[in-house]
Structure 1
Amino acid sequence: MPGKEAQAAGWTCVASGQALLGETPLWCEHTQSLLWLDIDQARLHRLHLATGRRDDYAFDAEFVGCLALRTPGQVMLALDLALHLFDLGTGELTFLAQIEPVGSGTRLNDGRCDNQGRFWVTTMDNQLARPVGSVYRVDSSGHVERMFGDVVVGNTISFAPDVRTMYFSDTRGFVTYAFDVDPVAGALSQRRVFADYRDTRERPDGACVDAEGGIWIAMFGGACIRRYLPDGTLEREIPVPASNPTCMCFGGPDWRTLYVTTARKFLSPEQLAQQPLAGSVLAMQVDIPGLPERRFGR
């Protein structure tokens, strides 16, 4: 159960857990279920909100970096440096694409689908310091196109409601960027700084965009989430009862429930004792609805 601090801020704990690096929450409107990952323990979780049933899947990989919805019974998973389709019913795993060669010193991290069903995915430096990561665009056939590089830890991949703006952060570069997007061709242009954290060294992590075009960003290590307007104005900041919020999605029948994953990684035993909700999935009702998640290949 959530503590007094969480309740006071409007948070509830929907899935208590010990996730080292909880990430990539996604709401499936067809099954009314929430999916999310523990990247460092290579696990996928699914919670059916109506019944409370939870399904847990483990994979023979070092990392499960991100996922995308495909059909009600199938998702796409980033296992280490390759993308696979995964059947939630049968457990069948089907290889789709190798993004970078094994031994590159990188792994797949954040990703999201656009309006054409293409998947945009980042790689990151396993040492969290070198600009050796990149951003890629992957179509439904498995064709991979590298869009740009010079990335330390790629994150925050998300799109405006009209898919004409893409947001991207280099978490360890301490900057969030915006790009113009051709929603049909998928070409990027006009890269610009959207939010600059280089002075404060704050770490923007996962994000989602609401129906009004506001972008919600989890601040890893900052114990908060922030909502920015499309012009870059900070509209609100909401404290989170865990130091390391990682990513968010909208869900529920009216898309007004904001789900937030958290991480235990990098926290000391003393910090973990003070943060019993670290590693859990939290939820809050919000006044602005989200939008259905775009699906891979659709």
Structure 2
Amino acid sequence: MAKHITVTEPLLKLSCTLGEGAVWDTRSQRLYLVDIDQRKIYTYEPSTGTHGYQTFANKITSLSGIQDGSGLIAAIDIGFAFVPFSSLPFPPDGSNKPIIPIDVDAKCNGKEKRFNEGTVDPKGRFLSGTLGLEHGTKDGRMFSLEEAADGSFVAPLVLDQITCTNGMGWTQDGQTMYFTDSWIGEIACFDYDLPTGKMSNRRTFSILDKSYGEPDGMCTDAEGGVWSARWAAGKVVRLTPSGEIDVVIDFPKAWHMTCCVFGGPNLEDLFVTSAASDYIGDTLPDRSDGGDLFVVKGLGFKGVERNRFKGSFAG
């Protein structure tokens, strides 16, 4: 029987329109997350409680660390970008700072709204994909950004016919990739060839009933579990490696849970982002914490450190 946990109060009242893209930096012990629609990157340091944001010209949709420690790799509305840590002074002051777009062929076409989720694979490639213009369409595509031998960047197409690109992750041996295709409610898995980054043999890992909303962002833990944030359900669920639910976390004052990631000194705290609530129903509960940042402690699980992008932006 699944364990149930209820979280009634947010960690930070951020009031994000579309909070997303959380990544924990084990080196600095800081959390980074985005508000896509407000074009913000937030920085939060739990040890001091200090937090703030920077605002950018583009919508930033997801973040990952970079191996050389120079900043963050990002998906933005129109493609990929490098976010140097110098663009995120700490504590942040809210001013507009530049990010550096990466010139590759991966661009949105007329059937795609923008880029969305992105995650680094075990070999250091940054995978990010798009969503279609209309809910339910299968016009999204995914690209895999990596540095070529000559120092340039390439981003070949690795997957198409996606509804809405969302949470990704890998088993610890790197041979199986999880991928969230939100608008069909599916977390799929693929055989993943690490040397080439090729995905094959798509199959369903999880499709839950409508009471669990749509799957959004995800992360994995050290025991092979998959933690899935649920849009339009006010929940995060843990799925065992066989796809069974064994933990349900309820957020009764939020509705659209968008992303989750383990952080904290021992990777035992689960940070959860959310979007401003647009709740429709016969009975309207108090969803006033939509858009805030939450943390869940004492779960008894430990996360795994996120992969870092292996590319250099020096000079």
Q: How does 1:145-184 map to 2 (within 5 A)?
A: 145-184=156-195
| Mapped pair 1:21 → 2:18 | yes
Q: Which residue of 1 aligns with 2:251?
A: 240
Q: Which residue of 2 aligns with 1:82?
A: 79
TM-score (norm 2): 0.85
Distance, in Å, in 2 between the alignment partners of 1:123 and 1:233 is 28
Q: Secondary structure at the match of 2:166?
A: strand
Q: Aligned-pair distance for 1:245?
A: 0.6
Task: List per-residue Cα deviations over 1:117-166 (Å, max 9, x = no partner).
Answer: 10111110132232110122111342111112111111121111221111
Task: List per-residue Cα deviations over 1:14-60 (Å, max 9, x = no partner).
Answer: 22111011001111111111100001111110011122222311111
Distance, in Å, in 2 between the alignment partners of 1:238 and 1:103 is 38
Q: Which residue of 2 aligns with 1:64?
A: 60
The one-letter code matched in structure 1 to 2:292 is: S
Q: Which residue of 2 aligns with 1:3?
A: none
Q: How does 1:175-254 map to 2 (within 5 A)?
A: 175-197=186-208, 202-241=213-252, 242-254=254-266
The one-letter code matched in structure 2 to 1:139 is: E
The one-letter code matched in structure 2 to 1:22 is: G
Q: Aligned-pair distance for 1:256?
A: 0.3
Q: Secondary structure at the match of 1:168?
A: strand
Aligned pairs, how many?
A: 290
Q: Which residue of 1 aligns with 2:305?
A: 292
Farther-moved stretch of structure 1 (152-161 vs 33-42): 152-161
Task: List per-residue Cα deviations over 1:44-80 (Å, max 9, x = no partner).
Answer: 100111222223111112x321111115441112221
Structure 2 unaligned residues grouped into runs of 5+? 88-96
TM-score (norm 1): 0.89
Q: Which residue of 1 aligns with 2:290?
A: 278
Residue 271 to residue 48, structure 1, CA distance change in 2 (3 Å): farther
Question: Contact 2:130 / 2:142 at 8 angstroms: preserved in 1?
Answer: yes
Distance, in Å, in 1 between the alignment partners of 2:9 and 2:45 is 16
Residue 277 to residue 187, structure 1, CA distance change in 2 (3 Å): same
Q: How does 1:35-184 map to 2 (within 5 A)?
A: 35-61=32-58, 63-70=59-66, 71-90=68-87, 91-96=97-102, 97-101=104-108, 103-140=110-147, 141-184=152-195
Q: Secondary structure at the match of 2:223?
A: coil
Distance, in Å, in 2 between the alignment partners of 1:74 and 1:256 is 24
Residue 11 to residue 199, structure 1, CA distance change in 2 (3 Å): closer
Residue 232 to residue 132, structure 1, CA distance change in 2 (3 Å): same
| Mapped pair 1:266 → 2:278 | yes
Distance, in Å, in 2 between the alignment partners of 1:125 and 1:147 is 17
Residue 190 to residue 198, structure 1, CA distance change in 2 (3 Å): farther
Q: Percent identity?
A: 26
The one-letter code matched in structure 2 to 1:40 is: D
Question: Contact 1:153 / 1:171 at 8 angstroms: preserved in 2?
Answer: yes
Distance, in Å, in 2 between the alignment partners of 1:72 and 1:55 is 20
Q: Aligned-pair distance for 1:273?
A: 8.0
